[in-house]
Chains A and B, each alone.
Chain A
Amino acid sequence: MSRFVMFLLTAKRRWVQALSFLVMNSFVLQSLKAIPCLGMNCYACPGAIFACPIGTLQHFAIIRQVPFYTLGVLSLTGILVGRLACGWLCPFGWLQELVYGLRRRFRLPSWPVSERFGWLRYAFLVVLVGIVPLWTLEPWFSKLCPVGTVEAGIPLILTNAELRAQAGWLFVLKVAILLGFLVWMAGTKRPFCRFVCPLGAIWSPFNRLSTLRLAVDEASCRQCNTCYSVCPVGITVHEDPDSTRCIRCMECVKACPEAAIRLLGE
């Protein structure tokens, strides 16, 4: 575990995110679609090599079976590293950080959103991934998912004339949702991860119990809030190092001027 911790503290996260996107959509080893993807990466993307865990959960809700395998893989990941995959592997998380980065370049205003609405991601998980597919026998989260629109819906429509002819109101709605998120992520830190993502909602509670976790040395911490300013999801880390929003990106550990935030892997 100590080597892994060292890697997290020294690796360039942006390069890992880019590599993760390329590997997840590399169009090789298609047999890996039996494995749930550790991040929001659309299963229907022509190059995708893993299964979308949220699509899989909806599938099992529709066929009325308990998804032991998918829940087991997601739980095991959460127990070991919490939401680390959100910060290092998720392609949609990477996209949100890239778009938010444009805000500084173009000096756009930021739109902070209260964390009081963080419960919404649990509601999306229960309602759109669980109850609605169970009731309607349709995977409605996948139908509206902006990740699916950007990685699969739009590329398929652009490259396939038959599909283009079939595109209707649902496709227009999907594109509108995607555009809404693109505008939102330009002014708010990772809004999809904080308020919508059902995969993040599954992993969130594990942050309190995971093997890999953050700890703050209260004697060293001057509460300068450097951790808050560098955090891609807007956590004041010295107040709540085990936050369910933490994506284990290690930006706070690297930026803390007092080295008061430590990464533990017990």
Chain B
Amino acid sequence: MATRETPTGASTTADPKTRLLANRVLFVIALVAIVLGVALGQTFITWLNATLL
């Protein structure tokens, strides 16, 4: 992924097309993960946090 250095040394995405493509691809992957999770019954959370004390 194309990046440029900012004055603070942090890298940022420079190429809008690459950014848009990554955004779209990750969007689809996230949707697939949600569908897969629902299919596997992961929305029914049985865990209760009884260990808080």
Contacts and interface: CB of A to CB of B under 8 A. Distances in A.
**Are A and B subunits of one complex?**
yes
B22 to A, nearest CB: 5
Given A68-B37, A69-B38, A208-B13, A56 B30 contact: no
What bracket does the count of chain B residues touching chain A fall in? 20 to 34
A67 B37 CA distance: 7
A80 B51 CA distance: 34
Contacts of B29: 75
A171 interface: yes
A209 B26 contact: yes
Interface stretch (A1-9, A10-18, A137-145): A137-145
A242 B49 CA distance: 35
A159 interface: no
B49 A166 contact: no
Interface string B21-53: 011001101111111111010111101110111
B42 A67 contact: yes
Given A209-B13, A209-B22, A210-B23, A167 B53 contact: yes
A44 B12 contact: no
A72 interface: yes
Contacts of B6: 239-240
Contacts of B7: 239
A72 B49 contact: no
Interface string B9-24: 0101100000110110
Interface residues of A, number: 54
A182 B33 CA distance: 37
Contacts of A43: 49
Interface of B: 6-8, 10, 12-13, 19-20, 22-23, 26-27, 29-38, 40, 42-45, 47-49, 51-53
Contacts of A65: 42
B51 to A, nearest CB: 5
B47 A56 contact: yes
5 contacts: A44-B49, A52-B49, A72-B30, A206-B26, A239-B6
Contacts of A72: 30-37
B1 to A, nearest CB: 9
Nearest to A67: B42
Contacts of A240: 6, 8, 10, 12
B40 to A, nearest CB: 7
A68 B34 contact: yes
Q: Which 9 A-B pairs have the closest CB atoms?
A: A69-B37, A72-B33, A72-B34, A68-B37, A75-B30, A69-B42, A76-B30, A59-B47, A34-B43
Contact of B27 (A42, A70, A79, A142): A79
Contacts of B49: 42-44, 52, 55, 139, 142, 148, 152
A138 B33 contact: no
A142 B51 contact: yes
